[in-house]
Amino acid sequence: MVLKGYPRISETFISNEIRLLEEMGFNIHIYSMRAPRESFSHDSIKAIKAKVTYLPSSMIWGLPALLWHNLRLFCRMPRRYMECVKLMKSRFKLAPKKHTWLKHLLQGGYIVQKSVHDDGVDLGHLHGHFAHTPTTVTMYAALLADVPFSFTAHAKDIYTQDPRRFQDKIDLARFVVTCTRYNERYLSEVSPGGKPIHCVYHGINLDLFSPNGRPTSAKQPYHILTVARFVEKKGIDTVLRALAKLRAEGLEFRYTLVGEGKAKFNRKVRKLIDELGLADVTTLPGTITHDEVIKLLGEADCFTLGCREASDGDRDGIPNVVAEAMATGVPVAATDVSGVPELVDHEETGMLCPSDDPDALAAILKRILTDQSLRAEIIPAARDKVHEVFNNKKLIRDLGEIYRSHGVPCGK
């Protein structure tokens, strides 16, 4: 399995998938395109048995190792290697950073020569997570090793690039997995040739996210929670403006905004909080562990997100934290972007409104906080919906059966 980075705090769904696939009997070896950037990881990582190979990530410091192993591989299989070079050259016209595409070929060659031929790793099948760079490396390594490959497409990796940059990957892959029906429809339109595209939701661990035991009713001052990276597509500015409107109307609350982003975006968020007069009711704990998120969900009266389609086309699939809130008994007020309506049914399992509309978000937030009969209906219905369609143990079994049906080796 080829990943952009491992482990990553924001990609618990991948570590949960690996752990559960191992329990099903799949023998997994992880190839990470770079070393971890966070100083801590979730506890679920400890249960994973897969060995990890970190690929040289720099075209400066890693170039000697990349060139050495690729030269050896070229001498071993010159014709096949040149076929990959031709494929890479055919894709150059679509590449904004052409040197990175060369690096991806070299990383694919490194996997085959160093890991397979030198270290004896058995590549029965290669799978890339995210349709952009990890799947590019996966594609080259699979072609060089003469094994089938597949990949999982998520969100940013398909909506922020020219569709032609992953259309050939769909055509060459044995099958494709994606995490929402919304994505499935888009990928099928991009590549209508009948290649199998399977929708499997990420799911969450329902053993961790159980009802918090609090009554469905809520009273002032309400505790409102958001967990999100500080990036444009999360619509944090929409949430903050909605909260300012509620405060102006006399609603009493405290707001916890979990997450962070690049320094520039962090400053922008803090500045907006100050400008809107929300500093005295807002807590910014930064990036925290899953256990700490669970604790905050146990204290929250409402969870909110203002997701939007970003200027570069980026958008969410179904943010896992939405399902985590619903499973915990925290009602959700969010925007109707991408795959979110596949889990949140307006006025049935949560509240939805259009994106980039602070007034509309304020209105549904106010309803979900103050309408106690609505809360009493939505909270149990949301919990049932998550158990029905977002149980990761069932979903990973479904994913495992998809792998098996396409000939991916499994020990059980």
Contact 280, 346 (CB under 8 A): no
Confidence band (pLDDT; 50, 70, 90) for 236? Answer: very high
Percent of the chain with pLDDT over 90: 78
pLDDT attached to residue 3: 96
* Residue linked to tokens 């949560």: 350
| Chain centroid offset of residue 390 CA | 15
Verify that 197 and 336 share a domain, yes or no. no
Verify that 258 and 244 share a domain, yes or no. yes
**What number of other Cβ atoms are within 10 A of residue 271's Cβ?**
10
DSSP symbols for 47-106: G---EEEEPP--TTTSHHHHHHHHHHHHHH-HHHHHHHHHHHHHHGGG-SSHHHHHHHHH
Verify that 247 and 354 share a domain, yes or no. yes
Verify that 187 and 143 share a domain, yes or no. yes
Q: What is the pLDDT of residues 121-157, one digit of tens each?
A: 999 999 999 999 999 999 999 999 999 999 999 988 9
Verify that 159 and 229 share a domain, yes or no. no
Q: What is the pLDDT of residues 56-76, one digit of tens each?
A: 988 889 999 999 999 999 999
Q: Is residue 411 part of a domain?
A: no
Verify that 188 and 315 share a domain, yes or no. no
Verify that 365 and 241 share a domain, yes or no. yes
Least confidently predicted of 42-51, 313-322, 372-381? 42-51
User: What would you report as the CA-atom Rg of the chain, rounded to the nearest whole angstrom?
Assistant: 23
CB proximity list for 107: less than 8 A, separation 6 or greater: 33, 55, 56, 66, 137, 140, 141
Verify that 64 and 155 share a domain, yes or no. yes
Verify that 248 and 273 share a domain, yes or no. yes
Q: Is residue 264 part of a domain?
A: yes
pLDDT attached to residue 412: 64
pLDDT attached to residue 40: 54
Name the more confident of 42 and 284. Answer: 284
Confidence band (pLDDT; 50, 70, 90) for 41? Answer: low
Verify that 374 and 253 share a domain, yes or no. yes
Average of per-residue pLDDT values in the chain: 92
Q: Is residue 214 part of a domain?
A: no
Q: Is residue 211 part of a domain?
A: no
What is the CATH classification number for the domain harbouring 23?
A: 3.40.50.2000
DSSP H or E stretch at residue 329: none
* Residue linked to tokens 């029905």: 388
Confidence band (pLDDT; 50, 70, 90) for 46? Answer: confident
Verify that 243 and 109 share a domain, yes or no. no
The count of domains in the chain is 2
Written as six digits, the tokens of 288 are 């925290």
Q: Is residue 266 part of a domain?
A: yes
DSSP H or E stretch at residue 211: none
Q: Is residue 212 part of a domain?
A: no
Q: Is residue 208 part of a domain?
A: no
Beta bridge partners of residue 127, listed in sequence order:
150
Q: Is the dihedral of CA 139, 144, 146, 147 positive or negative?
A: negative
| Chain centroid offset of residue 245 CA | 31
Verify that 63 and 171 share a domain, yes or no. yes
CB proximity list for 398: less than 8 A, separation 6 or greater: 200
Question: Residue 165's domain spans which residues?
Answer: 2-203+392-405
**Res 285 pLDDT > 90:** yes
221 prior amide bond cis, ω within 30: yes
pLDDT attached to residue 303: 98
Q: Is residue 98 part of a domain?
A: yes
pTM: 0.89
Q: What is the pLDDT of residues 173-213, one digit of tens each?
A: 999 999 999 999 999 998 887 789 999 998 998 988 888 77
